[in-house]
Structure formats: C-alpha cells, structure tokens
Structure 1
C-alpha cells in the first residue's frame, strides 16, 4: 500500500477544477481520477466537501476548522479544570 499523500485545500480545489475541465472534454470519472492520481473514493469525498468552493473560500474553511479545533481543546481543558477543582473541594484527591 502506498503512503497517503496529503494535499492542501488549495491543491484539492485546483484538482477538482481540473477534473471539471476533463469531464467537460468528455473524460470519464475513472479516466479523471487516474489523471489526478487519486482514488475514486477520494475524488467523491473531495467533491462533496470542496466541490462548490473557490480557492479563497477553501482556505477560509480550513482556517475556520483549525480555529474550531482550538476552541474545542480550550473548552475540554476548562471542563477538566472545573472537574479537578470540584474533586479538590470535596476532598477526593
């Protein structure tokens, strides 16, 4: 099994635009994914997630996802701190 390639959001959007051009020229999906060097599953996953995005919108989506992950970590840390403080208050340490 080959090592998984990681593509940036901008690269994914560019590949999807290339796929649209190839399909407009009459290429089939199997031909398109072979040209893009990705699996059909990856292509369809990308298309469902990034299909309607432009490159700048895709970059913004990636930034928002990173910010969301950061905020979730902060909330989880605060919940842990609160739980520890409650345990200390009860004397369960």
Structure 2
C-alpha cells in the first residue's frame, strides 16, 4: 500500500492549532479523518512552525531530493565513462 498525501500544510497546522483551543485529540482526529498516531507524528514534526516556515521546509526537502537524484545520475555517468576508458586501454 502506498502512502497517501492528502493533507496540505494549511490543514496540518489548522489541525494542530485546533487542539490548542481545547478540543480533544480524539475529536479532531475523527473530524479530519486521521489516526491519533498521525496527529502525534504531525505534532512532533511541525509543532511551533508557521505556515511560511512549513512551506520553506517542504521546498527544501524537494530541492534536497532533486539534488540527490542529480548526484546519483552524475555518479552513474562517471562510472560509465570510467568503464569506457578502461576498456579502451586494453
């Protein structure tokens, strides 16, 4: 089963802030359609962040993923070129 990513940053922050207003975690989770475990994962990851900080974090993670892919591609290209050079020397 794949992961579902159906909640926006705004929804995550609204959910976390709604509990601060006095509503119980169980009620909020039922309304939003998430498990309590998911709520606490969100709380651990995003507590204390503003919306702009959360968006910036997401952008940095996306950029990091792209850079890792680029590094992997370049490493593969380098390896292939080294194999070609090695075969030509023989």
CA shift in 2, pair 1:10/1:28, >3 Å: closer
Bigger relative contact order, structure 1 or 2 (CA pairs below 8 A, ≥6 apart): 1
> Unmatched 5+ residue regions in structure 2?
none
Taking structure 2 as the reference length, the TM-score comes to: 0.82
1:29 aligns to 2:64 (yes or no): no
Partner of 2:8: 8
1:81 aligns to 2:65 (yes or no): no
Q: Return the offset for 1:36.
A: 2.7
CA shift in 2, pair 1:10/1:42, >3 Å: same
Q: Return the offset for 1:33.
A: 1.6
1:52 aligns to 2:48 (yes or no): yes
C-alpha distance after superposition, 1:23-80 (max 9, x if no partner): xx3x432223223321011101111111111111101100111111111111111000
CA shift in 2, pair 1:64/1:5, >3 Å: closer
Partner of 2:60: 64
Taking structure 1 as the reference length, the TM-score comes to: 0.80
Q: Return the offset for 1:12.
A: 1.0
CA shift in 2, pair 1:48/1:90, >3 Å: same
